[in-house]
């Protein structure tokens, strides 16, 4: 058996308190533990760990990011909190489904996204981009979701 999902996500921040405040106040994550140089939070059921370290993120061409799931009814409120926090956007949304791409205080690239993988695969099946291949496992996932 292979991996079963994401166990946790860890990133560093030069100012842990600012990072935790952003995650709590803007994204509504929940702090479950903290220590002088870090904190554990929950983003839904996903475990996040923030630890003290350098704010050293990659350059503009790097597409690496973490996407958090949100409901369609929450997009406007999240967008408003992001604007109020001074978060900068790093990309406009070009995919199906509402997404907002932004950076946190440490410069990590993040996203809030409304749709899920099944929706993405369904959309891609109807309008595939060049070179896209939906595998047998992907088709099985779509079949299971269709019930």
Is 130 inside a domain boundary? yes
Domain total in the chain: 2
Q: Using the predicted structure, report yes or no on whether residue 137 has a pLDDT greater than 80.
A: yes
Per-residue tokens: 63? 């597409």
Residue 51, helix vs strand vs coil: strand
pTM of the full predicted structure?
A: 0.77
Q: What is the pLDDT of residues 91-115, one digit of tens each?
A: 999 877 889 999 999 888 899 998 8
The verdict on 124 and 102 lying in the same domain is no
pLDDT given at position 3: 55
Cβ atoms of 13 and 21 within 8 Å: the answer is no
Is 59 inside a domain boundary? no
pLDDT class for 129, splitting at 50, 70, 90? confident
DSSP E strand stretches across the chain = 8-13, 30-35, 38-43, 46-52, 66-69, 89-91, 99-103, 109-113
Is 4 inside a domain boundary? yes
pLDDT given at position 104: 92
Q: What is the pLDDT of residues 30-60, one digit of tens each?
A: 999 998 989 999 999 898 989 888 776 777 6
pLDDT given at position 10: 84
Q: Using the predicted structure, report yes or no on whether residue 147 has a pLDDT greater than 90.
A: no
- How many Å apart are CA 48 and CA 28, to the nearest integer? 13
Residue 30, helix vs strand vs coil: strand
The verdict on 86 and 103 lying in the same domain is yes
List active site positions: 111
| R_g of the chain, CA atoms, integer Å | 17
- Supply the DSSP symbol for 73: G
The verdict on 89 and 38 lying in the same domain is yes
- Identify which of 130, 2, 147, 124 has the alpha carbon closest to the alpha carbon of residue 138: 124
Q: Which residue segment(s) compose the domain that 91 sits in?
A: 1-54+64-114
């Amino acid at each position: 058996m292979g991996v079963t999902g994401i166990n946790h996500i860890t990133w560093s921040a030069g100012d842990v308190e600012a990072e935790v405040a952003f995650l709590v106040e803007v994204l509504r994550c929940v702090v479950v533990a903290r220590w002088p140089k870090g904190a554990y939070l929950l983003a839904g059921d996903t475990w996040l760990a923030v630890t003290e370290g350098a704010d050293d993120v990659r350059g503009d061409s790097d597409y690496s990011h973490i996407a958090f799931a949100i409901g369609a009814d929450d997009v406007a409120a999240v967008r408003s909190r992001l604007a109020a926090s001074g978060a900068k956007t790093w990309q406009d949304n070009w995919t199906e489904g509402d997404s907002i791409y932004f950076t946190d205080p440490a410069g990590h690239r993040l996203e809030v996204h409304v749709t899920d993988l099944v929706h993405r695969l369904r959309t891609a099946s109807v309008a595939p981009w060049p070179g896209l291949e939906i595998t047998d496992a992907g088709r099985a996932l779509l079949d299971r979701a269709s019930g």
